[in-house]
Amino acid sequence: MTNLWSTVTVGNLKLPHRLAMAPMTRNRALFDGTPGNLSAEYYGQRASLGLLISEGTQISDDGQGYLMTPGIYTDNHVEGWRKIADKVHASGGHLFIQLMHAGRMSHPDNTPHHRQPVAPSAIAPSIQMFTNNGKLDIPVPRELSQAEIKETIEDYRIAAAAAIKAGADGVEIHGANGYLIQQFISEHSNHRTDEYGGSIVNRARFAIEVAKAVVDEVGAERTGIRISPEVPLGGVDEGSSALDVYRYLVPELAKLNLAYIHMLHVGNEELLSEIRSAWPNTLLVNRAGRPLKDIAVDIDAGLADITPVGAWALANPDLVKRLKLDAPLNEPDRATFYGGDSRGYTDYPTIDEKTLQNR
């Protein structure tokens, strides 16, 4: 018997089971970053997943990396997200908005102000990204000054306040996948010589200061953070001291009593059990690439409290029902992941009685 279907808490929320929807960028916002009209329907359809972690949502013009991603820093953004939060709540779910700053993983063609992207250091990720003008090299970013680092931390705080104003139950700080926070953490992308670079303590400082600002603004019970130790996305190679920085960071975050850590896990089992021991609150583990049959393995082993699901949740609005009934799943259509209309967004069917009876 699996523990997957037992209740669990996140901050002050009591959730009905241990699945959640992993954050997924869908590139369907309006040009000004307001979530598009279909987004409320999309998230509402998936409310039975209990905790829905939104797509990466930029905290400022500088924070935008990709085209048509939503923001959470203007009145229009708040109104757009309010529709989503209302729909999710009316359908019985809970919403955490993922606060994202892409840092150097951006392109002037993709941002409202068309400026050079910013980062801890002027080091390009040496990869390409999609822009309005096709797939282009990501340019060398501009190094943030210390004053700008403080302003960026303030942007996280303001965005967190806006998320709560929009009716979200909390926010997830995006510290993963090679975006700004991980660019500070990694010695590969951070060559600073001030107190934000160099030693482990210095490279973890930005993440901790962002977390403090967000906690200060919206409360620890409404703040989670995502990390991705050893995940080489965005050209980030965390280098030899990769694991030590997380060994330092996690206990520091524990002092702030955040509602959860969300770990994108690529298989360093020793690190996962260390984080499990060092982290007193709820631990979300998204084990990338695990087969569906192993969905409850970390929960049942006591290594995770919640297992967020990405692509299967994207393709199956009624994933919880299907898994409980051991029913067949819709296959995710990768061609419609990033951008487009309702196709591959709100038109994945729920399972019907006929299919269930004919099994």
The answer to whether 298 contacts ligand FMN (rule: CB under 6 A) is no
CB of residue 89 to ligand FMN, shortest distance in Å: 22
Interface segment toward ligand FMN; rule CB under 6 A; list 142-150, 154-162, 169-177, 253-261: 169-177
Closest CA to 185 of 131, 130, 234: 234
The answer to whether 130 contacts ligand FMN (rule: CB under 6 A) is no
CA distances from 27 to 11, 65, 180, 270, 340 (A): 29, 11, 19, 35, 8
CA distances from 329 to 342, 350, 357 (A): 19, 9, 15
Closest CA to 324 of 48, 5, 109, 3: 5
Nearer to ligand FMN, 197 or 316 (CB): 316
Interface segment toward ligand FMN; rule CB under 6 A; list 16-24, 251-259, 315-323, 347-355: 16-24
Query: Looking at 13, 153, 311, 327, which residue binds ligand FMN (CB under 6 A)?
Result: 311
Catalytic residue among 73, 156, 179, 345: 179
The phi-psi region of residue 167 (left if phi > 0; otherwise alpha if psi is between -120 and 50; otherwise beta) is left
CB 314 within 8 A of CB 54: no
Nearer to ligand FMN, 107 or 226 (CB): 226
Interface segment toward ligand FMN; rule CB under 6 A; list 19-27, 29-37, 127-135, 241-249: 19-27
Calpha distance 287→308 (Å, rounded): 9
The answer to whether 25 contacts ligand FMN (rule: CB under 6 A) is yes
Query: Looking at 34, 39, 58, 98, which residue binds ligand FMN (CB under 6 A)?
Result: 98
Interface segment toward ligand FMN; rule CB under 6 A; list 23-31, 35-43, 133-141, 298-306: 23-31
Residue located via tokens 């997830």: 172
Size of residue set near ligand FMN by CB under 6 A: 19
- Torsion angle (degrees, nearest 10) of CA 313, 264, 137, 159: 80
Nearer to ligand FMN, 174 or 222 (CB): 174
- Torsion angle (degrees, nearest 10) of CA 183, 188, 192, 197: 70
SS3 71: strand
Residues 40-79 vs ligand FMN: string with x where CB under 6 A? ---------------xx-----------------------
Nearer to ligand FMN, 15 or 192 (CB): 15
- Taking each helix axis from N to C end, the angle separating 269-278 and 242-255, rounded to the nearest 10 degrees, works out to 20
- Is 179 designated active site? yes
Q: Enumerate the active-site residues.
A: 179
| Residues in contact with ligand FMN by the rule CB under 6 A | 22-25, 55-56, 98, 174, 176-177, 226, 264, 286, 288-289, 309-311, 337
